[in-house]
Structure 1
Amino acid sequence: MERVALYPGSFDPWTNGHLDILSRAVKMFDKIIVTVAVNNKKNAVFTGEERIKLIEESISSYEWSAQVEVIQFTGLLIDLAREKEVNVLLRGVRQISDFEYEFRMALTNRRLAPEVDTVFLMPDEQLTFISATIVKEIAAWGGDLSSFVPNNVGRALREKYDT
């Protein structure tokens, strides 16, 4: 039986931390479905379609990229898990504050869908401070993004912020 996991997030933008989590997950699962959440109530830098393209571009040179599918979704994650017949959600946890939020979400998802489990992965310790908020701030001020995001994402952020 194929081991498949959903890796959900807004990924606005996709960072080196996200990439690190994905590179760890492909060793544990046969397939990862990266699910780009689109929340129209948030002011996103990139559209859902742009995020999908950036993620696909950033992983295309890895030998494991064929194990990854990138899709967009809106709604309850457990509904998507059921639709895709996936019983594992993959979440990255950088610090204790992340864990508190993710733990509550995992318990909520378990209440709604007992058949779906959540697996937490930590990125490399050198990447634990990276967040989308920090990356956007650096981009807005024209800072060096090279250690925070893949090169293609850095270029796209510079275009968005005209820096």
Structure 2
Amino acid sequence: MKVAVCPGSFDPITSGHLDVIERGAYLFEKVVVGVFEKTEKNPLFSLDERIGFIESAIKENSKLSNVEVESFNSLLIDFAHRHKACAIIKGLRAVSDFEHEFQMAQFNRKLDKSIETIFVMASPKYAYLSSSAVKEIAKFGGCIEGLVTKEVEKGFRKVFKL
């Protein structure tokens, strides 16, 4: 079985993330979305909330029936090994994303050259979309419809008391 992992902090998951995951689910027999337990980004949502948002989105999309979600707190390459993954899927929005992701891909390749990093270019309608931008818009009561799932919208209303 061809398995890929798709890692991230997903704080929160956006429509852009879901697009990358869906495209990975088309290419691989199984995709494991790996949610970083600890992140230096100081997440707005708890680990359980982030996982819940992703699981909810998976249940709502029949194209994601081969996708699972799991948290991890290890090297990404070790997470990939646990799932017998042959690939790591990463989304790229712009050239600015490439430099960091390229460096991480090279580190992962050094750790295990049998696991490929697959870069998925953002769909044009999501090329501008980031979790941090969505958080900023939500914080000030802006419209985030279509940028995140309904469950994430509810999460923002709860956090920001909107």
Letter in 2 for 1:152: E
User: Are residue 115 (structure 1) and residue 94 (structure 2) matched?
Assistant: no
Counterpart position of 2:91: 92
Q: Distance in 1 between matches of 2:98 and 2:107?
A: 14
8 Å Cα contact 2:7-2:34 kept in structure 1: yes
Counterpart position of 1:80: 79
Alpha-carbon offset, residue 63 of structure 1: 1.5
Alpha-carbon offset, residue 40 of structure 1: 5.0
Q: Distance in 1 between matches of 2:156 and 2:3?
A: 31
Identity fraction in percent: 39
Counterpart position of 1:23: 22
The runs of at least 4 aligned residues of structure 1 exceeding 4 Å deviation read: none
Counterpart position of 2:159: 160
Q: 3-state SS of the aligned residue for 1:89?
A: strand
Counterpart position of 2:60: 61
Q: Report Cα offsets for 1:89-148 as digits up to 9, x if no partner.
A: 000000001111101100011011111110000121011101111011011101111021
TM-score (norm 1): 0.95
Supply the RMSD in Å over aligned alpha carbons. Answer: 1.1
Alpha-carbon offset, residue 42 of structure 1: 3.4
Letter in 2 for 1:33: V
Letter in 1 for 2:151: N
Letter in 2 for 1:75: S
Counterpart position of 1:143: 142
Counterpart position of 1:14: 13
Counterpart position of 1:130: 129
Q: Which runs of 5+ in 1 are unaligned?
A: none
Q: Report Cα offsets for 1:53-87 as digits up to 9, x if no partner.
A: 11111121221332010000012000111122112
Q: Which runs of 5+ in 2 are unaligned?
A: none
Q: 3-state SS of the aligned residue for 1:64?
A: helix
Alpha-carbon offset, residue 41 of structure 1: 3.8
